[in-house]
Amino acid sequence: MNEQMKKFIEQIKSTWDNSSKKAKIIFFSAVGILFVAIVAVTIATTKKNFVPLYENLSREEVAQIKEELDSQNIPYEITDGGTAIKVPEEHSERLLVELAGKKIPSSGNIDYSFFSQNASWGVTDNEFNMMRLDAMQTELANLIKSIDGVEDAEVMITLPEPSVFVSDEQQEASAAIVLHTAFGHEFEKNQIESLYHLVSKAVPNLPPENIVIRNQYLEYFDRTDSEFENEFTYQQTVKREIEKDIQRRLQQMLGTMVGMDRVVVSVTADVDFTKENREEQIVEPVDVDNMEGIPVSIETITETFEGTDAGAGIVGAGDEDIPNYPAGLQGQDGDYELVKETVNYELNRIQRDIVEAPYKIRDLGIQVVIDNVVGVEDDELQMLTPAEQDAVEEGVTSILNSIITTSIDKGYGEIEPEDAEDKISIVFQPFSHRDAGAADDEATRSIPIWAYIVGGVLLAIIIVLLVLLLRKRKEAEEFETELEEDTIEDFEEEIPDLMSQQPKSEIDIQREQIEKLAKENPEDFAKLLRTWIAND
């Protein structure tokens, strides 16, 4: 057995000594990889996988859970700065049930469930009010914690003291809230408004203006009237669009007349944003000329009578007579006829639900500035003559009057031409026209001397850099060319002439002899050539 073992070891040694260096490296690499794999598998199978048991807890609640886990000898990890605790995955579900049965964790705050669990006749009014206030604060804090971006919340509510006197004035409550928001989270305006509304409705007699909300960085969440802000933004946008539209049309029209760069138009509009919804019920005749409707039903009643008319009697005084009633006497013959006709007409009944336009132009003001410079002659500005200015002003005024009368809503009355002129302002003013040479001289004078010096130095540096760059590029190209030529020569020297190494045929030998004869003795070559031709 020992001899076989020795032979086996000697065989391994001989194999190892005869192995190459590469084979040894491969062997050690395979052994190392196998060792790392065994270690990784061992760690993965023996390491416990910890999962969160509770998160976002107070440190008091984490201490309660830690004490319970220590009593059960269960390993745990405390993370997130002492606000979360992890346990092995195989114990997580069981611990959740057991801790819930022991009412762990318990924050110590009172919620509404406290009253059902601790109902007692021995609680005074003050104690009950304090417990009710504490429960209200706890429930409201839990409600706010459920909002995205809020990690924790602290709520303090101040309720008014009940008065022993009957008063029409009702006291109001107030609330102060501190939010522990997530890092980098920002609330939208509508979310802040919703938070104020939530707190106001959760506490009785708590108006939104009595609520103060801030975060852990002492930044207040101010309550803004978003509806008013949106309405104001809408109104300003509509007003600017109206002014821009009228200004664009006038600029294009007047620019065509006097030149685009010679006229400037400004428009100011007064817009009425009053909203009106009204309902009208109108009854009109079908036949307007005769003021009649359509007859839908006709009723005719005719009565006729023929006979003796009862005459007047005396007041009855007999046994069978009615007291104070005239007795019947024999009258004279007579007749009568009654004809009564009733016609029912159907009229037009119109019901209108009118919603006025969301805005109306109540007033309009237009300001126009026109360049009265015609040109420049002999370094002097040529202006429009008074007659030409009057003609231009008359044409522009006519256009502006038409724009104003058609733009202002008719509900504010008809706009007379003299009224429209009060809303117009036309000014003739020279624009910025200067001689080009003078402008160049002024610009030249405005540049200091040091600017020229700096500019010259920078220009010289740029030229030097360009020359150096071009020279360097040229040298690089020359070096590449030389390198290529040397490479080609070396390559030609290394490659033998394959054609020269091949054996020559008789035809090649004769061709070389003929070429040599033609170069050395042209006359003999000519004689030989003539002899060949003659023989052919």
pLDDT for position 494: 47
Rounded CA gap, 184 and 307, in Å? 110
Cβ atoms of 404 and 364 closer than 8 Å: yes
Listed as own residue / partner, the contacts of 457-465 with beta carbons closer than 8 Å and 24 or more positions apart are none
Helix, coil or strand: residue 271: strand
Rounded CA gap, 127 and 133, in Å? 10
- Tell which residue, 206, 211, 200, 195, has the closest CA to residue 159: 206
Transcribe 496-518 into DSSP letters.
--HHHHSPPPHHHHHHHHHHHHH
pLDDT for position 456: 80
Helix, coil or strand: residue 284: strand
- Which region holds residue 198: left if phi is over 0, alpha if psi is between -120 and 50, else beta? alpha
Which mean pLDDT values do the consecutive 10-residue runs of the chain (536 residues) have?
72 75 77 81 71 79 86 86 84 81 66 53 74 85 88 88 65 90 84 88 88 89 66 86 92 88 91 81 78 79 73 53 54 72 81 78 92 79 86 90 88 80 88 51 55 79 83 75 59 47 64 74 73 69
CATH class, domain 235-275+358-429, is alpha beta
For the chain, the C-alpha Rg in angstroms (whole number) is 57
Listed as own residue / partner, the contacts of 65-74 with beta carbons closer than 8 Å and 24 or more positions apart are 65/99, 65/104, 65/105, 68/99, 68/102, 68/104, 69/95
- How many CB atoms lie under 10 A from the CB of residue 268? 14
What is the residue extent of each domain of the chain?
Answer: 50-102, 125-162+170-225, 235-275+358-429, 277-306+334-355
Helix, coil or strand: residue 54: strand
pLDDT for position 176: 92
- Whether 125-162+170-225 and 50-102 are alike in CATH topology: the answer is no
pLDDT for position 49: 79
Cβ atoms of 368 and 396 closer than 8 Å: yes
Rounded CA gap, 479 and 483, in Å? 6
- Which region holds residue 428: left if phi is over 0, alpha if psi is between -120 and 50, else beta? beta
Give just the sign of the alpha carbon dihedral 230, 231, 232, 237.
positive
pLDDT for position 20: 75
- Beta strand 348-355 pairing with 277-284: antiparallel
* Crossing angle between the packed helical segments 386-407 and 226-258, to the nearest 10 degrees: 140
Write out the H or E segment, with its range, that includes residue 255.
helix 226-258
| Alpha-carbon separation of residue 427 from 419, 457, 490 (angstroms) | 19, 50, 89
CA angle, residues 295, 301, 305, in degrees to nearest 5: 160
pTM confidence score: 0.36
User: Can you give the three-state secondary structure of 147-163, one letter per residue?
Assistant: CCCEEEEEEEEECCCCC
Sheet harboring 263-272: ordered strands across? 263-272, 360-370, 424-428
Cβ atoms of 13 and 19 closer than 8 Å: no
- Tell which residue, 77, 69, 73, has the closest CA to residue 49: 77
**Position 445, amino acid:** R
| Burial class (CB within 10 angstroms; exposed 0-12, middle 13-18, buried 19+) of 400 | buried
- Tell which residue, 144, 145, 177, 181, has the closest CA to residue 158: 177
Domain 125-162+170-225 of CATH type 3.30.300.30: yes
* Crossing angle between the packed helical segments 125-145 and 189-202, to the nearest 10 degrees: 160
| Burial class (CB within 10 angstroms; exposed 0-12, middle 13-18, buried 19+) of 212 | middle
Rounded CA gap, 72 and 229, in Å? 60
Rounded CA gap, 144 and 198, in Å? 9
Residues paired with 363 in a beta bridge: 270
What residue has token string 């402008």? 439
The CATH number of 50-102, from 3.40.50, 3.30.160, 1.20.1070, 3.30.70, is: 3.30.70
| Alpha-carbon separation of residue 439 from 216, 445, 446, 525 (angstroms) | 61, 10, 10, 90
